[in-house]
């Protein structure tokens, strides 16, 4: 007997998306890129052939957006370019490879059951519940385990790392990794280290804002300009009361720039000037010294002029006619 399957009409068909797409990619992918991927997923199910230009028209997106979106998913290894087009890779298989990558030394279950890591397991549980609504992808467990070992953060710092990124709507691996690197470079290990770091950053932010207002920039300082402020405050130990003295000396210059200001403050630092009174005393001494030098230069110029006049007068008499030299 011959059996045939009655295929459901197109209106009743559906395209499935693995849950890992929502847990791993949705949070950091651009909305247009998601739109591109979903439509490509739909077309791939039916084995359709479509050109990039046609895709742009169909989705009503600029051609460059389509190209950038395809490039983005290639970089995420979600799609692979072939001679004849693209292959949409299996998201679940990608996650499986992440889990069993040789760099991973323990599974999520093993990590949570290890007695010596009970506090760490509790921290991971808090991260899962607070930031992933209790459905964190298994690959995150391995990444967190790796970050614990690489950066030696304590459990409170790791939770704070996720909260910091979550509050900035940037809860994806690349951003978390970048922030973790920055914290590690600032020798953050414990939550106390982190609090001190935040206090310094807030102080730099406030100081930069004050300098910007004093200079009437009507903007935030650039990253490079803030780098100067960071050095003046943290490396040199200068607060705004000293920086303001330098600002008053430089803002009158027609060619003012942060390099010039930095040279002044660096000179004061090398002279071990630490307070406004020490700076003002140094400037007053320099001013008086400059006055004395100018006074001495004037005296020297007058003496040279007087000597030159006398020498010219003597020469006049020596070379004068005999009658004139005898007073005739």
The three-class DSSP label of residue 18 is coil
Structural domain includes residue 286: yes
Structural domain includes residue 150: yes
Task: Please give the Cα distance from 43 to 54 (Å, whole number).
Answer: 12
Q: Are residues 74 and 107 in the same domain?
A: no
Q: Are residues 264 and 288 in the same domain?
A: no
The three-class DSSP label of residue 218 is coil
Check: CB of residue 24 under 8 Å from CB of residue 139.
Answer: yes
Helices and strands: H and E segment counts in the chain: 16, 2
Into how many domains does the chain fold? Answer: 4
Q: Are residues 58 and 41 in the same domain?
A: yes
Domain that holds residue 63: 14-96
- Kindly state the tokens that stand for 225: 């300009």
Q: Are residues 23 and 40 in the same domain?
A: yes
Task: Please give the Cα distance from 118 to 126 (Å, whole number).
Answer: 12
Task: Please give the Cα distance from 317 to 13 (Å, whole number).
Answer: 123
Question: Distance between terminal CA atoms of the chain?
Answer: 157
Instruction: Give the strand pairing for 85-88 and 79-82.
Output: antiparallel
Q: Are residues 185 and 111 in the same domain?
A: yes
Residues in the chain: 328
Q: Are residues 150 and 75 in the same domain?
A: no
Picking from 148, 165, 189, the residue at the C-terminal end of a domain is 189
Q: Are residues 255 and 220 in the same domain?
A: yes
> Mind listing the pLDDT tens digit of every residue in the chain (328 residues)?
334 445 555 666 787 888 878 877 787 788 998 998 888 888 887 777 778 888 888 889 999 998 998 898 888 888 888 877 788 887 777 776 665 554 445 555 555 455 446 778 888 889 999 998 888 888 888 889 889 989 999 999 999 999 999 999 888 888 999 999 999 999 999 999 999 999 998 999 999 999 888 888 888 888 888 889 989 998 899 999 999 998 888 766 666 688 888 999 999 999 999 999 999 998 888 888 777 666 665 655 555 545 555 455 344 334 545 444 444 4
pTM assigned to the model = 0.52
- In sequence order, the 6+-apart residues with CB closer than 8 A to the CB of 15 are 38, 41, 42, 45
Q: pLDDT tens across 28-87, in order?
A: 788 998 998 888 888 887 777 778 888 888 889 999 998 998 898 888 888 888 877 788
Picking from 96, 117, 136, the residue at the C-terminal end of a domain is 96
Q: Are residues 87 and 124 in the same domain?
A: no
CATH number for the domain including 50? 1.10.10.10
Task: Please give the Cα distance from 32 to 40 (Å, whole number).
Answer: 12
Q: Are residues 261 and 306 in the same domain?
A: no
Structural domain includes residue 7: no
Alpha helices, DSSP H, located in 60-190: 63-75, 91-99, 108-113, 118-131, 138-151, 155-167, 173-185
Structural domain includes residue 220: yes
């Amino acid at each position: 007997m011959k059996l045939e399957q009655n295929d459901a009409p197109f209106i009743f068909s559906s395209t499935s998306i693995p849950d890992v797409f929502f847990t791993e990619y949705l949070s950091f992918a651009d909305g247009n890129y998601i739109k591109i991927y979903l439509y490509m997923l739909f077309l791939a199910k039916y084995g359709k052939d479509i050109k990039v230009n046609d895709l742009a028209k169909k989705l009503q997106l600029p051609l460059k957006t389509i190209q950038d979106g395809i490039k983005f998913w290639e970089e995420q290894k979600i799609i692979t370019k072939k001679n004849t087009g693209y292959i949409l890779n299996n998201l679940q298989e990608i996650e499986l490879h992440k889990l069993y990558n040789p760099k991973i030394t323990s599974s999520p279950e093993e990590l949570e059951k290890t007695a010596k890591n009970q506090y760490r397991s509790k921290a991971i549980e808090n991260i899962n519940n607070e930031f992933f609504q209790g459905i964190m992808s298994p690959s995150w467990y391995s990444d967190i385990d790796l970050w614990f070992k690489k950066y030696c953060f304590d459990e409170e710092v790791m939770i704070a790392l996720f909260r910091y990124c979550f509050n900035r709507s940037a809860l994806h691996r690349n951003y978390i990794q970048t922030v973790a690197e920055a914290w590690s470079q600032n020798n953050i290990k414990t939550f106390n280290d982190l609090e001190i770091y935040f206090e310094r950053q807030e102080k730099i932010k406030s100081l930069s804002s004050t300098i910007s207002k004093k200079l009437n920039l009507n903007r935030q300082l650039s990253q490079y300009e803030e780098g100067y402020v960071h050095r003046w405050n943290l490396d040199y130990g200068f607060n705004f009361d000293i920086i303001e003295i330098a600002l008053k000396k430089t803002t009158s210059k027609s060619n003012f720039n942060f390099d010039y200001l930095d040279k002044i403050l660096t000179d004061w630092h090398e002279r071990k000037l630490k307070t406004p009174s020490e700076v003002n005393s140094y400037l007053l001494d320099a001013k008086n010294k400059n006055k004395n030098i100018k006074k001495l230069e004037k005296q020297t110029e007058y003496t040279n002029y007087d000597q030159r006049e006398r020498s010219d007068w003597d020469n006049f008499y020596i070379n004068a006619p005999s009658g004139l030299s005898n007073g005739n």
